[in-house]
Amino acid sequence: MADTKRFEGYGVVVTGAARGIGAAVARRLAEEGARVLVTDVDPPEAEKTATALREQGLAAEALACDVGDLASVEAAVAHAVHAFGSLDVLVNCAASCTPDTPLFEDGPDDAWARDLDITLTGTYRCCRAALPHLAASGRGAVVNIGSVNALQDFGNHAYSAAKAGLVSLTRTMAAHVAARGVRVNLVVPGTVRTSAWEGRDDELEAMRALYPLGRVGEPADIAAAVAFLASRDAAWVTGTSLTVDGGVTAVNTGFLTATRQNRDA
């Protein structure tokens, strides 16, 4: 459990918070004193996450929210403001990632549209709904969850394009809302051990060699970065993308390995 209480009295909404990174973010902010609304398109799982937090004496509620539906988003924001008295932090974790087809030209329009709508436009919807309340709080902060897919080719064309769009949206929104006292930042995770990798332990183990720090990420690694950017410790930070990826985008491990093997031959 976090030792500090940087979010005492804060009202927080986390999207895509039923499991994985979103659940870890909800936990971290609640541990630091926040009242957290755990939102997700999977209401039973969202309730499980919120219940687990409450059982530890933390302040959490769950609510169904589909970031692809404006009415659902507005209802979640209104619920948080009513329940907590304010909305101080919005963390956009919800995303959609459709596997690529073997041939690029076979990719269906509906899969492309869904990934962009949930991952990029969904974040846009949530920011629009939350902004007046974040501005009113006097300490409002938005933290978006991006991906190293925005920086390099790790597959998943539509998801990657949407995450790249979040980099731009974070930057431009930060500039537009700075005068209203709201900060907007982005965390860029590398591979994180979540339910998306369930049953693929061999792949995760193989990836360890590609990460200079010798392991893939854990949801708590990303939650720690989110907590920093959402807190007053980052009071002079806005419009930035914080890469939390174990060094995978800093070093071409495969290239270095190949060249070293060639020298040693």
Quick check: is 1 in a domain? no
Provide the CB-side half-sphere exposure for 186 (13 A, CA).
24
Q: What is the pLDDT of residue 256?
A: 79
How many percent of the chain have pLDDT more than 90?
A: 83
| pLDDT band, residue 242 (cuts 50/70/90) | very high
- Of 10, 124, 159, 211, catalytic: 159
Is 211 one of the annotated active-site residues of the chain? no
Per-residue pLDDT reduced to its tens digit, 157-177: 999 999 999 999 999 999 999
Domain residues for the domain of 234 are: 11-264
Kindly compute the dihedral angle of the four CA atoms of residues 165, 166, 172, 173, in this order, to the nearest 10 degrees.
140
| Residues 17 and 49: beta-carbon distance below 8 Å | yes
Q: Which of 93-97, 226-230, 250-254 has the lowest mean pLDDT?
A: 250-254
Residue 12's DSSP bridge partners are 36, 89
Structure tokens at 50: 């919120």
| pLDDT band, residue 2 (cuts 50/70/90) | low
Per-residue pLDDT reduced to its tens digit, 198-228: 888 888 888 898 899 999 999 999 999 999 9
Quick check: is 31 in a domain? yes
pLDDT of 250 higher than 80:
yes
Structure tokens at 241: 């993308």
Q: Which CATH number characterizes residue 111's domain?
A: 3.40.50.720
Rounded to whole angstroms, the Cα distance separating 211 from 125 reads 34
Size of the chain, expressed as the number of residues it contains: 265
H or E element: which one contains 129? helix 122-137
Quick check: is 132 in a domain? yes
Rounded to whole angstroms, the Cα distance separating 146 from 125 reads 16
Q: Please tell me the pTM assigned to this model.
A: 0.94
When divided into structural domains, the chain yields a total of: 1
Provide the CB-side half-sphere exposure for 224 (13 A, CA).
11
Quick check: is 116 in a domain? yes
Quick check: is 2 in a domain? no
Quick check: is 253 in a domain? yes
H or E element: which one contains 26? helix 20-31
Quick check: is 4 in a domain? no
For residues 141-156, give the mean pLDDT.
94
| Residues 79 and 85: beta-carbon distance below 8 Å | no
Quick check: is 88 in a domain? yes
Rounded to whole angstroms, the Cα distance separating 222 from 144 reads 11
For the chain, the average pLDDT equals 94
pLDDT of 195 higher than 90:
no
